[in-house]
């Protein structure tokens, strides 16, 4: 099943976060930059996942940060396929 990312409203201005859920897994992508308020990690799009019904820590997707949102979304789809194949 494809992931459909939606923008999440955050209380921090200029913090960009996208979220999607599928097959019991939750995925998030955040845009990090050093030029404005936000998470201030390495610049790019950080992708992560965790089980939807769990309070476990998130798992960063290999390759983060990605240069584009589309690259991060694609990495999330590959991660979901891997998780479902286990």
**Is residue 72's pLDDT more than 70?**
yes
- Strand ranges in 9-54 using DSSP code E only, listed in sequence order: 16-22, 25-32, 44-51
**Is residue 74's pLDDT more than 90?**
yes
Quote the percentage of the chain above a pLDDT of 90.
64
**Is residue 30's pLDDT more than 70?**
yes
| Model pTM score | 0.84
> Which is more confidently placed, 44 or 86?
44
Please give the angle made by the CA atoms of 46, 79 and 40, to the nearest 5 degrees: 5
Main-chain phi, psi angles of 31, to 5 degrees: -100, 120
């Amino acid at each position: 099943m494809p992931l459909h990312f939606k923008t999440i409203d955050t209380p921090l201005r200029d913090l960009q976060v996208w979220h999607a859920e599928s097959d019991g897994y939750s995925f998030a992508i955040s845009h990090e930059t050093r030029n404005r308020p936000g998470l201030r990690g390495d610049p790019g799009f950080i992708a992560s996942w965790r089980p939807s019904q769990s309070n476990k820590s998130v798992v960063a997707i290999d390759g983060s940060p990605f240069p584009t949102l589309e690259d991060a979304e694609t990495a999330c789809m590959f991660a979901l396929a891997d998780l479902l194949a286990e």
